[in-house]
Structure 1
Amino acid sequence: MASGAGNQSSNQILSGRYATAVYDHAEEMGWLDRVIEEMDALGRLIDESPEFRAFLGNPLLDVQESTKAVRAVLQAQGFGSIVQDFVGVVSHNRRLFFLRAIVKSFADLVDRKRGVVRAQVVSAHPLTELQSTQLRARLTELGYGRVQIEEQVDESLLGGLVVKLGARLYDTSLKSRLQRLQYAMKGAA
């Protein structure tokens, strides 16, 4: 189990290095905003295309052929030269299977540099615009700077919210309250 944790840490370090390299290069070239948009689009492409994910994860592909293929896909999708060249380097280094983690590290780096905190919010029903604004304001009051809300719906919560900010978890869901009440009643009996 310790080796798995070591691998995760070394994977995070490696993805962080690639992310920092592409960030620094894009900033140096004056194309940072465009590269941020394209890296976000690359993450969506990976997430939404099972075929592309399978291609990235195939260890049997020839490096030169896979590099040509991935560059052709990115070019057809309208990605600029910085992202195409970057993914070409990742491919050449036999790290295509690792591309999604690199894209995630890049997004995390951009958030840190811009002071953005991502809040993963799970609710029983989609939040209204007013609820999102109020939640963002409340999180700002708690000391979280610029908050980006990533919303999910889980009807099993019945009501309330579960908010995750980094390692912190705020659970005000009705489901959780009922479970705590059930445990308290068992303890009293």
Structure 2
Amino acid sequence: METSGGIQASLSGRYATALFELARDERQLDTVSASLETLKASIAGSDELRRLIASPLIGRTEAKAAIAAVVPAMGLDPLTGNFLGVLAQNRRLDQIDAVIRAFRQLLARHRNEATADVTSAHPLGDDQIAALKAKLRQQTGRDVAIDLKVDPAILGGLIVKVGSRMVDGSIRTKLNTLATAMKG
């Protein structure tokens, strides 16, 4: 499989590529992908886990021990657990968000899907996500994997990025445009 030089050029991209290739060779892409989604949700919901990942004060040994303790509690597969141990040992846990994003891009490319980064002011419901996927599939001609982010600062609407194309339908941008037009 050819992987993009853009993904491999970054540190997180190299880690994601290594994880992706190992998961592909072990036929565990879906399992690892599900574990990474669980990990991402756990990080979003736990201040302690975010501090563990971000703190430069936690040493290699302590970080690796902490990761080994939380992996079974989160229900992550052994391959992802070992990978997190390597990140902890190499003091690269702070790269996990970027690694997950790059892994998703590699997986989407492997499945011939497009990847859409979608930012909304509030969490989207399952029916809204399904409608958005259908609309994006119609626009791109491919299945679309959606990476959702919530940013209350956009006030409402959506910001959708697919590849190099971006559609900013946020209320914040519309208000800024209106304010600029009113200034003359």
- Structure 2: gaps of 5 or more residues: 1-5
Matches within 5 A, 1:137-152: 137-149=134-146, 150=148
Match of 1:37 among 24, 34, 40: 34
**Structure 1, 20-29 or 57-66: larger mean CA deviation:** 57-66
- For 2:115, the equivalent position in structure 1 comes to 117
**Percentage identity across paired residues of the two chains:** 32
- TM-score normalised by L of structure 1: 0.71
Tell me: CA distance 1:129–1:185, structure 2 relative to 1, closer, same or farther (3 Å): same
Pairing 1:67–2:87 present: no
**Structure 1, 45-54 or 108-117: larger mean CA deviation:** 108-117
Letter in 1 for 2:127: E
**Structure 1, 173-182 or 75-84: larger mean CA deviation:** 173-182
What SS class does the counterpart of residue 142 from structure 1 fall into?
helix
RMSD: 3.5
Pairing 1:48–2:45 present: yes
- Equivalents in 2 of 1:87, 1:15: separation in Å? 13
**How many residues align structurally?**
176
- For 1:85, the equivalent position in structure 2 comes to 82
Matches within 5 A, 1:160-175: 162-172=159-169
**Structure 1, 105-114 or 148-157: larger mean CA deviation:** 148-157
| Contact 1:126-1:153 at 8 Å conserved across structures | no
Q: 1:32, CA displacement in angstroms?
A: 2.0
Q: 1:38, CA displacement in angstroms?
A: 0.6
- For 1:15, the equivalent position in structure 2 comes to 12
Tell me: CA distance 1:76–1:132, structure 2 relative to 1, closer, same or farther (3 Å): closer
Looking at CA atoms only, which structure, 1 or 2, has the larger radius of gyration?
A: 1
Pairing 1:129–2:127 present: yes
Letter in 2 for 1:49: S
- TM-score normalised by L of structure 2: 0.73
